[in-house]
Amino acid sequence: MATYNAFLPSYILYSLNCIHMSDLSREPAPSSAAGFPAAPANARPASLRELFWCFSLLGSIGFGGVTPWARRILVDRKHWIDDREFADLLSVGQLLPGSNVSNLAIILGRSYFGWRGAVAAVCGLYMLPLCFILILGFAYQYYGDLPAVQKMLGGVMPVAAGLVIATGIKLARSFPVSAHTVGFGLLTFVAMALLKLTLPVILLAVAPLAIGAAWRSK
């Protein structure tokens, strides 16, 4: 806890320095008379340090979804990539396992500084969340049995479940309604949630069929 407290103030100072909070709450105002952003289109991080701090800022503000913040910081504020590159990187991130923002961090970091860039970006992204989660975890071990804590978590649990279900519904709404989506979605749900088959088995059985069907339909 002491390390965390000592670490936080300089961190906040840096964050304020790195990005004006107002930039995060509105669309960026064009800063030159011609309506173009001030930074050059091909801006890139000057150093590993800048890359690390930029992604650590991202890791520290994104509550319930980092993606919108990632766009604002990387595209609007830093101009390291444009909207199209951001969308491309994100869709590649979605093809890979794991969080798409951490995949984006790795690919982008690598493109600037090789393996050191990938390590700097991903360490930046997870540094603060990991500190946070460890503190929460230790607190839970000490105070988790208190009735008040149990009651609070009892209220948060259903909300967290609702967040996941809403994420699923948003995801579903982003696809066209088709036999493919409904059929394979339902099959996966039944196999995982109701039959409790193991994920490797489900993927080996369902993924080739689903990908094959998608291949044939186009």
Q: Pick out residues in 37-96 that bind other proteins (CB under 8 A).
A: 58-66, 88-89, 91-96
Q: Which of 7, 8, 143, 168 binds other proteins (CB under 8 A)?
A: 168
Are the C-beta atoms of 112 and 51 separated by less than 8 Å?
yes
* Minimum distance from residue 118 beta carbon to other proteins (Å): 5
User: Residues in contact with other proteins, total (CB under 8 A)?
Assistant: 97
Shortest Cβ 26–other proteins spacing (Å): 14
Output the smallest distance, CB 137 to other proteins, in A.
4
Judged by DSSP in three states, 112 sits in helix
Rounded to a whole number of angstroms, the minimum distance from the CB of residue 206 to other proteins is 6
Residue 213 found at the interface with other proteins (CB under 8 A): yes
Half-sphere exposure of 192 toward its Cβ, with a 13 Å CA cutoff? Answer: 12
Assess 16 for contact with other proteins (CB under 8 A): no
| Residue choice 6, 16, 31, 183 for contact with other proteins (CB under 8 A) | 183
Contact 39, 104 (CB under 8 A): no
- Of the pair 39, 96, the CB lying nearest other proteins is at 96
Query: Per rule CB under 8 A, is residue 142 in the interface with other proteins?
Result: no
Report in angstroms the alpha-carbon separations of 42 from 54, 78, 94, 104, 178.
Answer: 17, 10, 25, 18, 41
Burial status of residue 28 (CB atoms within 10 A of its CB: 0-12, 13-18, 19 or more): middle
How many residues does the structure list for the chain? 218
Question: What tokens were used for 143?
Answer: 């105070």
The residue assigned the tokens 């994920």 is 199
Q: Does 30 bind other proteins (CB under 8 A)?
A: no
Nearer to other proteins by Cβ, of 1 and 38: the residue is 1
